[in-house]
Structures are given as C-alpha cells and as structure tokens.
Chains A and B, each alone.
Chain A
Amino acid sequence: MEHRSRIATLVSPPALFLIVLFLLPIGFMALFSFRVGTFGETRNMFTLDHYRDFFANAPLLRLLWRSLLISFWVSIYSVVLAYPIAYYLVFQGGDRKLLLLTIIIVPAWVSYLLRVLAWKVILGSTGILASFIAWIGLDPRESAFLLYSSDAVTVTLVYVWIPFVALPIFAALERIDPHLLEAAADLGCTKFEAFLRVTLPLSLPGVVAGFLFVFIPTVGEYVTPALVGGTEGVMFGNLIQDQFLRGLNWPVGSLMSLAMLAIVLVPLVVFARFFKISDIAGV
C-alpha cells in the first residue's frame, strides 16, 4: 500500500506532463489532419480529402521519397566513415582510446546551427572554398556545384552526424570478448575472415543503432536543407514547416507530420523487437 502511494507520487507528475504536452498534442495533430481548414468555420468540418490528395500528389510523394533517400545515404555514409574510427580506437587505441574518442565527439557539442552555418560559409559561391580555390590560382567555378544542391545537404549532414554514430559502434565493439577472436584465429580464420564472421556480426547492434541515430533526426531535417540545399535540396521537413509558418494549411501540414512520425516509428519498433534496448544505451 505504502509502495503504491510512493510510485503514484513519483510517476504521476512526469507522466501527467508527458501526456498533456507530448501524447495529447500528437493526438490532436492526428485529429487535425481530418479537418477541412485551419481557421473559422472550416475548423469543425472533417474530411478525408487531404489523405486522398496526399496519396494522389505524385510530386509530393517523389519529394518524400527523395528526402528519405537523402536520409538513408547520409546514415550509410556516416556509419561507413565512423566504423573504422570505432574499430581503430577499440582494437588499436590502447590506453588513450577514451581520450581519442572524446576528441571525435567534442565537435558534436558545438551548436548545431553554427556547424551548418560553417558549411554554408565554406560552400558558398563567394565563400571560403571558392575564394580559396581562386586564391591559389584555380578556377572556382569547378567547385560551385556544391552549395544549393542535395550533395551539399548530404555532406553537411554527414559532417554533423559522424560523431553520434561513432559512439554506439564503439560501445558495441568494446563488448566483444577478445577470446572469441583468438578462438577464430586458432580455428584457422585469417584476420579478415575473423572480422567478417565474428567482429562484424557482433557489432551489428551498434551499427544499426548508429544508423537509426542518424536516420531518425535527418528524416525530420529542414534547417540544413534551408541553409545549404537550395531548391534541389528541399526535404520533406521543409514542406511541413511551410504549411505551418507560411502556407497556413495546418490540416495538410498535420497529415505530412503524421506521415513523418509513422516513417520514423516503423524502424524504431523493428529495432526494439530484434535488439535489446540495453545494447544501445550501454556506453
């Protein structure tokens, strides 16, 4: 009985807060996606038209697909670039591996907006890279392709997210029992075979976690595309922002936001089903 009142006292304030300011708003957002209009009379009329329009809108779906592809490739590049770092630190880092890991992670602590701004300044047509190339006597037009393209978005996002991917892969590699690798060597595996058949499979939870660490936030990304993407680099998040801050079509924006939520939740649920949460949390 005493137990119960303690639990109730501890749980109810945070639970109440998260219900009212997190679950409830998402519920209202879902409800809103059926509304006819944003303001006035149309607020209380409901329709399925937005859903029909959404699935019939081929350019919109193409853009959604393209921006998912950007997120996908950003996540793949980040994992591929971060894996050797984590591998090097765990197996060859020696005593200094935590220090070396920290060196990689510190840039992630610098304001996100500023790191994106840095790339905008670097890639700009009169920016640091172009002016540097001109300064050393080459033709800067060769480099101007970078700003205001989906490539610029990809480069910037990979830059932003590499440190976050290194962390879970590092943690997964650290947990591998070195005896397993010795056993593999005793049984005649070459180093490369041992990597493919022992190390890589065992580090998979870290790889998948790292992938999701990048994929989920970049699916919702709209700041980086707005700063370095131009018209070609527009992502789905930019459309959502437009509906709310400019277009003022909140029902359509709600529907798009709901679609994004669904896209993010699917891989999360699959991940939670196949891996233990402790595999990601344990650093």
Chain B
Amino acid sequence: MRLKKMFSPGAIYYWLLAVFLYLPIFLLIIFSFNDSALLRFPLQGFTLQWYRDLRNASELLEAAGNSIVVGVFSSLAATVLGTMAAIAIVRFNFPGRNLFVAVSALPLVIPAVVIGVALLILFRQVFDWDLSLWTVGLGHMVVNIPIVTLIVGARLAGFPDNLEDAAMDLGASYWGAQLRVVLPMSASALLAAFLTAFTTSFDEYAMSVFVVGTESTLPVYMYSLLRFPRRLPLVVAMGGLIMAVSVIVIMFAEWLRTSGERK
C-alpha cells in the first residue's frame, strides 16, 4: 500500500517537477565550488577559491552593504506606513475605502519596469533630483508598502477588535491601545512583513536599475558583472551565499507569519 502510494502517477510527477525546480539551483551551487573559471562539464575539482576571492571584491561588498542599508530603511519605513494602512482598512469603514484598498495593492500587480520608468521621470524631470540610494529606497517603498499592508492586514483581520475596546474601557487612549495591545499582538506579523519587504528590496533589479545612481545595489552590480565571463564564478559564489541567507530569512518570516495565525 505504501509502495503503491509512493509510485502513484501523482507522486512521480510531483518529484519530477521538484527535481526540475531544484536542479538549476544545485548546479549553480556545485559550480561555485568548481576549480575552473569556466562553468562547464567535466567538473575540475573542489575549491573554495571563489568564496575566498569574495573578501577582496571590494565593489561587490560595497554594493552588498548599499543593498542592506536600502533594504533596512525602505522596509522599516514601509512597515510603519503599511501597518497604518492595514489598521485603517481592517478596522474602519470610510468614504473612498475601496479606492484606497485598490491603490495600495496596485503596485504589486504592475510590471516593475513601468514603476521604474515613471519614478525616473518624476525624480529627474519633475523634482530634478540626482539619482542615489535615496531614490532607490523610495522606489522600493512603493512596492514594500503593499506587501506590509497585505501581511499585517491578514493578521489584524484574524483577531477581534474588542481587545482594544477593553483596553480603552480600562483607560487607555485609542493610540495607547494601538501601541500597547494591537501592535504587540501582531508583532510576529510585523516582523514577517519587515523581513519579506527586506528580501524583496534586496533582490529588486527590474525597477532599481532605472532609479539607481552611481552607487550600485547588489543586484544591479551583479548584473553589470555578467558582461565579464571571467568574473562569473565570483557572481555565482556571491549568489550561493545570498541564496543560503535569503532562504533562511524567508523561512523564518513564513514561520512567524503562519505561527501567529494558527494560535
């Protein structure tokens, strides 16, 4: 019976597709340990050289640093603004609410290239700003706010508002109740939202490339490296590191998001 289940057509198809999804990633990781500048078979033997070289790739590390700064600040700001929007949408009914919901979800379903182009026009031609990490951060916030609103809104909808009423009956002000009851209760959702926003920002290329200045973010810099085949193993090694970190961060965020919902 067990054997039959394991070899049912559905199970076989499932595992074949899983292999298709994982194989390219594993190949990339295997080749990041391959002792050759060319990414081709046969494998040449094991080396940590590419990972060692990373320590001296100062521009790459600088770009990674920029991405962390942009990611942290754009996600923090988006967490604040997105949470305000989520509270308003879940707890109140107000004129224009549907329009507000639609507009605050729209950036998620519009191609990144359109947002990038529109922001480039705004920054350069309307505001006449120089492009910098600031403009990249503002751009990332446009996408990060809807992400936060979605995640935090789902959590707020999951518990009733009579707890904040109780806090207010006991003498707390409305904002006191929000800060000391509602936010702590949704703390894990807030953190999950922040981490999801951060990884989105850290990985964003399609919009960033339009609004980036002379200081690169990591994806923009990595993309520019792809023109130099000799440096490909370095990009692959960096990629291996990013993969490991981002998968861990997102698994943590997922766990935070769902563990709160199950309670």
In the complex, what residues of B have CB within 8 A of residue A126's CB? 38, 40
Bound Cα distance A88, B142 (Å): 37
* Residue B7, interface by CB 8 Å: no
Given contacts A6-B92, A110-B247, A121-B39, whether A220 and B206 have CB atoms under 8 Å apart is yes
* Residue A42, interface by CB 8 Å: no
* Residue B166, interface by CB 8 Å: no
Size range of the chain B interface in the assembly: 35 or more
User: For residue A272, which residue of chain B has the nearest CB?
Assistant: B102
In the complex, what residues of A have CB within 8 A of residue B210's CB? 244-245
* Residue A170, interface by CB 8 Å: no
- Cβ-defined partner of A223 (8 Å) among B14, B114, B206: B206
- Minimum CB–CB distance from B124 to chain A (whole Å) comes to 9
Given contacts A18-B104, A237-B111, whether A122 and B24 have CB atoms under 8 Å apart is yes
Bound Cα distance A103, B118 (Å): 37
Instruction: Please determine whether A103 and B114 come into contact, CB atoms closer than 8 angstroms.
Output: no
Bound Cα distance A127, B85 (Å): 48
List residues 196-235 of chain A with CB under 8 A from any CB of chain B.
Answer: 212, 216-217, 219-223, 227
Interface string of B29-68 (1 = CB under 8 A from A): 0010000001111100000000000000000000000000
* Residue B18, interface by CB 8 Å: yes
Size range of the chain A interface in the assembly: 35 or more
Instruction: Please determine whether B25 and A28 come into contact, CB atoms closer than 8 angstroms.
Output: no
Interface string of B134-168 (1 = CB under 8 A from A): 00001101100100011000100000000000000
Bound Cα distance A85, B21 (Å): 13
* Residue B71, interface by CB 8 Å: no
Q: List the interface of chain B (C-beta within 8 A of A).
A: 5, 8, 10-11, 13-14, 17-18, 20-22, 24-25, 27-28, 31, 38-42, 81-82, 84-85, 87-88, 92, 94, 100, 103-104, 106-107, 109-115, 117-122, 125-126, 138-139, 141-142, 145, 149-150, 154, 174, 199, 203, 205-206, 209-210, 219, 222-223, 226, 232, 235-236, 239, 242-243, 246-247, 250-251, 254
Q: A109-B199, A220-B114, A250-B121 are in contact. List 14 more A-B contacts (CB 8 A).
A: A14-B85, A21-B139, A22-B107, A32-B121, A81-B17, A85-B14, A87-B10, A92-B11, A109-B247, A121-B28, A127-B39, A217-B112, A221-B111, A244-B117
Q: List the interface of chain A (C-beta within 8 A of B).
A: 2-3, 6-7, 9-11, 13-15, 17-18, 21-26, 28-29, 32, 43, 81, 84-85, 87-89, 92, 100, 102-104, 106-107, 109-115, 117-122, 124, 126-128, 130-132, 134-135, 159, 162-163, 212, 216-217, 219-223, 227, 237, 240-241, 244-245, 250, 253-254, 257, 260-261, 264, 268, 281
